[in-house]
Amino acid sequence: MSQSSVFESLDSGSSESESAESESSESGPSDFGCSDSESRDSGARASATLGAPSAETHLDGAAVIGLGAVTAFGWTSADLRRGLATGTTTVREPVEFSTAGHRTALASEVSAGPEPSVALGDRVGWNRLSRADQFAVVAAREAWAASTVADWVDPCRVGVFFGGSTAAMAEAEGFFGQTLKNDGPRPRLRSLESQQLNGPGDAVARELGVSGPVVSMSSACASGALAIEAALEALRSGEVDVAVAGGSDSLCQMTYAGFNALRAVDPERSRPFRVERSGLNLGEGAGVLVLVRAESLKQNRDSVVAPMAWLRGAGGSCDAHHMTAPHPEGAGAAASMRAALRDGGLEPLAASFVNAHGTGTPHNDSAEAAAIADVFEDGLPVTSVKGAIGHLLGAAGAVEAVATVLALSDGAVQPTAETKGTRTEIQQTGTLEPGVDLVLGAPRVLPAGADRVGVSNSFAFGGANASLVFSTSPVCGPTL
């Protein structure tokens, strides 16, 4: 969508909302044991009542005006875009630590990064940052520069919302390992500076020089997506005008050993939604989006870049089922997707594709497949980036949100990495999870000339579920 047409849509939506009357309807029980209003209160909050939302609700999203990513494909979102389009994988034997004694010797590891003088400004010392901090800061700087918001925004009106689960755990492992050896110089205490989970978000705020709220989320593998949802709520409430939202995590021995102990990892490269799948591959990196309120976008139309996409809605749920296993019928996952669609004022048939959580574990993929079939009865193209870049844990939802925006912007859904067998062999042998229209081999082109909507899922231990809905237009249908 061109910049002029974006503002035409915004102006049209604003004039309609001034004259529209809000309508409400009684809420009946949902499929997941709570009423629509209860579901909204618990994870899919919105400023409008449920039922048929007014035109104002349709503009209650946020514009995505900057992207940044660090993955095993490289240290930019352009590297991620190119890599995902090829359908190849970055999973290989890691070099940062030994995998001896584990059932798997694979991970998706980020290679050596840019020189500190290139990666950073003057506010943050590169050597004082943990690996997760470095990923976060580089991704945030890329997104921030692309957004051009520094030209007009008040730094006090910019919030940072970040998810993660490991922070400086790798650095802590090195510190205590060296201390216990007691055969060399004592490690420096400053290597523990970023041990707290708020380390990456705080580092981003310092580097960008923004002084609005900094919110750090840690809810296992849903953390990055939940941080983006928190950013959307802050923008809707008027607490901030611009949000820097995302997540960052680095590989470390503790999580690697933990997932091996759970037998949740695949000794081979992971195969999301394949019937012979046997687990995930861990990864690392960061993803960042710069989000802006529609009102701020209109007020600064002469200096703002055209949005790449719109964050239309977000929703969450909890399986309340098991510490690590998902609800076997995908009930919580389905509730999360429905909540996100409702939050954006959209019917399920408005969706164009699903960027699935798609870990490659037997239980997750079968539960998610059931949930997708339940919500989208006519079927949708499905992809999972985890076969290409591994499972980034607390950063997964953020990087996959970036991938979803790239798919919408490019008009094509990235293929799931083919780690074993060609596309033809996979289709002919019937080795896909039943009912899943998995994108394989090459990007799947989305229909031209239509508003496109992508749903991005992130599901976590403890049954925490989060879904995000992105679109190419601030107002698109079919709506509720």
Residues noted as catalytic: 221, 357, 391
The β-bridge partners of 459 are 465
Nearest CA among 127, 143, 128 for reference residue 246: 143
Asked whether the CA dihedral 62, 64, 68, 69 is positive or negative, the reply is positive
Provide the greatest CA pair distance for the chain: 75
Alpha helices in 151-251 (DSSP H): 169-181, 199-208, 223-237
Chain centre to alpha carbon of residue 90: 19
SS3 392: coil
401: number of CA atoms within 13 Å, CB side?
40
Residue 283 CA to residue 274 CA, distance in Å, equals 20
Encoded tokens for 251: 């590989």
Q: How many helices (H) and strands (E) does the chain have?
A: 16, 13
* DSSP string for 101-154: TSS---BB-------HHHH--SSS-GGGS-HHHHHHHHHHHHHHHHH-GGGT--
Residue 195 CA to residue 130 CA, distance in Å, equals 8
Nearest CA among 116, 160, 459 for reference residue 289: 160
187, burial (CB in 10 Å: exposed 0-12, middle 13-18, buried 19+): middle
Nearest CA among 387, 93, 392, 133 for reference residue 255: 392
Residue 202: other Cβ atoms inside 10 A: 19
